Amino acid sequence: MSCIRILGIDPGLRVTGFGVIEQHGSQLLYVASGCIKSNDKQSLPERIATLFAGISEVIATYRPDQASVEKVFVNVNPQSTLLLGQARGAAISALVHGGLPVAEYTALQVKQAVVGHGKAAKEQVQHMVVRLLGLAGAPAADAADALACAICHAHGGQGLGALATAGYRVRGGRLIG
Amino acid sequence: MSCIRILGIDPGLRVTGFGVIEQHGSQLLYVASGCIKSNDKQSLPERIATLFAGISEVIATYRPDQASVEKVFVNVNPQSTLLLGQARGAAISALVHGGLPVAEYTALQVKQAVVGHGKAAKEQVQHMVVRLLGLAGAPAADAADALACAICHAHGGQGLGALATAGYRVRGGRLIG
């Protein structure tokens, strides 16, 4: 059975979440997750350097085969949109520099893949990430979003239908049984 | 006399301009300039890869000591702001990955440093870049902006006052004599 290691990234200038999972056929295994934080007292180039180095270190440590990055929202504040764009550009730079093919998914696609509908609350996403990966506790919000993005990629960007065919039982956007 | 080689960058997803100059005391010498273009038929990660690789190649070829990047505008179109932000994040990633200290200047600072006032038209910036570096012809607009950004850094982000003290004669935002 082929095994693919997927690195999910939830980009942000202040906090970038990462999550690594392994896909063995229809089974998903948790490998690692965490957050890369940058200090808002530093200059933008210094913060980008921290983010780039952090993701490069994650790649060197966990050696993923593919990457999956959440598409970011256009913020109501244009300056925030610009900062978020720069963080996302740095994150994708680190991924392509690390030789990884990069897939992109909208928050809607990620929620549909993990919870079964696009209007799921953050807590539902966290809950399903814990269930799907059999975690002992809930990871931090940004790490959970990154893991959800990796799970979405594992399911080919598809919804819970993919889970159902993989032997999971799904009702009302939740795994049962 | 110390010699500093400065790489100026005018970031953009479609076209990123670059310009390399050498500062020998108060004298500025042109080294190279050009544009890195990405294909808008490619995916965003592919375009970011092109931009990152292009800047990395410029660094490897011309071995600058310092980098100077123009701060980008918040666009009226939020989606354009996001794309521009991602290009700028990729450009700064390539610079910090190349080990360069990165300075940032607003378009206002660049125009003040090169033309003497912040409301200068693009053509005036091009004209002054040609004059200050003694070029035989005008470089492309994005390359000229990148060279202007490098000149701004060479003058410590200061205006034409710095040029005047360096022996240039300035009147009405133009070099004379």
Kindly tell me if the per-residue pLDDT of B174 is higher than 60: no
Whose structure tokens read 């764009």? Answer: A85
Find, among B97, B58, B64, B53, the residue nearest to A48 by Cα.
B97
pLDDT digit string, tens, across residues A2-61: 799 999 999 999 999 999 999 998 899 999 999 999 999 999 999 999 999 999 999 999
Find chain B residues with C-beta within 8 A of A89's C-beta: 48, 85-91, 93
Strand partners for B22:
B5, B29
Contact A98, A155 (CB under 8 A): no
Task: List the CATH number of the domain containing A94.
Answer: 3.30.420.10
Spatial CB neighbours of B45, under 8 Å, sequence gap ≥ 6: A69, A92, A95, A96, A101, A102, A104
DSSP tag of B161 = H
Which residues of chain A does B48 touch, with a Cβ-Cβ cutoff of 8 Å?
89, 92-93, 96
How many C-beta atoms lie closer than 10 Å to residue B164's C-beta? 14
Mean pLDDT, rounded, of chain A: 89
Q: Which pLDDT value is given to residue A6?
A: 98
Active-site residues of B, by number, are 10, 70, 142
Residue B153 forms contact with A (CB below 8 Å):
no
**Which amino acid is present at B89?**
G
Count up the domains in chain B and report the number: 1
Mean pLDDT for the stretch of residues B46-69: 98
Question: Is pLDDT at B39 greater than 50 in this prediction?
Answer: yes
Domain containing B16: what range? 3-176
Q: Which of these, A52, A100, A66, A14, lies nearest to B91 by C-alpha position? A: A52
Q: What is the pTM of this model?
A: 0.87
Which of B87, B83, B99 minimizes the C-alpha distance to B50? B87
Please, what is the angle between helix A78-97 and helix B44-62, to 10°?
A: 70
